[in-house]
Structure 1
Amino acid sequence: MDRMYQRGPRRPLRADAERTVQAILTAAERVLSAQPAATMEQIAEAAGVARTTVHRRFATREALVEALTAWATQQFHQAVESARPDSTPPLVALYQVTANALRVKISWGFAMSRTAPENPEVARIHADVLGRCDRLFRRARDAGVLRADADLDWTRRVYYALIHEAAQSRTEPVGPDDADDVDELATRVVDTLLRGMGGPGTFAP
């Protein structure tokens, strides 16, 4: 995680320091989601650490928000990767990617709504996720999950918009007991997409 918010070569954080940083970022997401103008002091209080601890890790509020965005981007990448979109059957992968992406976008809504910082690692991750999505949609079209004449660029844009709207429909972070709710949202997103762009036989009449 350290490389996502530190510029230049740095030694890895110790385990306790890593936990402190994660606690600060988690608190920042929670506090800023409720109050976007919240101060570093309010974030420190929510994280249960001293204000000086936050300032020692993040020189400015902007640096903290950049780190938060980078951390959430990394979680999003891992969520997409864990669905194995390049090898899992396309329809299964589409549902799994959607559910995984929704979990991150709901839990890290403030961070995911920020403009991506000018960070090469973040840019690389966004490019990789885009490439995986494009490959998944090509596989889905080849398998007949999507129509043969589907415009894949447009399909991807619609898909992203559906995920955004689904995530916006939730106001609370995803907890351990919310798996069924997220799966239901994912099903709604994929079903809506495929009813518009699905190939013949994707849905029973």
Structure 2
Amino acid sequence: MSTESRPRRIRADAERSTARILEAALVVLAADPAAPMERIADAAGLARATVHRRFPTRRALLEALAAQLNDRYLLGLKQARVETAPPVVALYRLAETVFELKISHRFAIEQSSDRERARPLLTAEVVAGLDLLFTRLHAEGAITAAGPAWCRQVFLALLQEVDQLPADAPELGGAEPDAVLGARVELLVASVLGALGGRPAS
């Protein structure tokens, strides 16, 4: 093996280990927020020394989870095409992505919510993407509320409420288990548009 390829392989191994640790942390901490780092190492199938080398403290691990969540939010905004797609379509796509994140990253989102009074921890980039979406919704006439910051707050508040509904809640229309996600998306979009003076697209 050449001296040039050896560092590249070491970096790749480190990246794989980091990804395994973060995936394990999401599962373990969702079940037990107080779980020790050692349990995360066991779930990741890695030596405890490896976990502590990647994340020397619990705080470092939590910050990495928050950064990963932010990256997923940004990817969701990109996939929703908030800049170019019909804005109501983009809102539907974004709602679906966020509910999927709440399933896969529930611990990270709840940690953020504790610090932000039931609001997910959003970076300036994520806020800008959301505000652009609501600005476009207003420009198209899909909503009458003109302030994107207010619209964003309504969206996040209703998102929290819809997410907290039990799967058999009447508001979800008696959806089958495999259709609950879609029912949450429909309810959120209809509620957000209604609260902001608009109506769902046909």
What TM-score does the superposition give when structure 1 sets the normalisation length? 0.76
CA distance in structure 1 between the aligned counterparts of 2:42 and 2:65, rounded to whole angstroms: 17
Distance 1:13 1:75, change over 3 A: farther
Pair member with larger Rg: 2
Query: Secondary structure in 2 aligned to 1:14?
Result: helix
Residue 58 of structure 1 is matched in structure 2 by 55
Residue-pair matches, total: 178
127, 131, 135: which one aligns with 1:130: 127
CA distance in 2, matches of 1:64, 1:103: 22
Partner residue in 2 for 1:74? 71
Matched-pair identity in %: 40
When residues 66 and 167 of structure 1 are mapped into structure 2, their CA distance, relative to the original with a 3 A threshold, is: same
Question: What amino acid sits opposite 2:69 in the alignment?
Answer: A
1:159 to 147, 155, 165: 155
Matches within 5 A, 1:1-205: 14-115=11-112, 126-147=123-144, 149-169=145-165, 180-199=179-198, 202=200
Unaligned runs of 5+ in 2: 1-7, 114-121, 168-176
Following TM superposition, the consecutive aligned residue runs of length 4 or more in structure 1 with deviations greater than 4 angstroms are: 201-204
**Residues 127 and 109 (structure 1 numbering): CA distance in 2 closer, same or farther, change over 3 Å?**
same
Considering fraction of residues, name the structure with more helix.
2
What is the alpha-carbon distance in structure 2 between the residues aligned to residue 91 and residue 15 of structure 1?
40
**In structure 1, what residue type is equivalent to 2:22?**
L
Q: TM-score, normalised by structure 2?
A: 0.77
CA distance in 2, matches of 1:66, 1:167: 24
Unaligned stretches of 5+ in structure 1? 1-10, 117-124, 172-177
Change (3 A) 1:180 1:15: farther
Alignment check: 8 A CA contact 1:106 1:167 kept: no
SS in 2 for 1:114: helix
Shift of 1:34: 1.2
Conserved? CA contact 1:85–1:136, under 8 Å: yes
Q: Which whole-Å deviations, capped at 9, do the CAs of 1:108-146 have from their partners, x for residues lacking one? A: 011123349xxxxxxxx7111111111111111111110
> CA 1:81–1:161 in structure 2 vs 1: closer, same or farther (change >3 Å)?
same
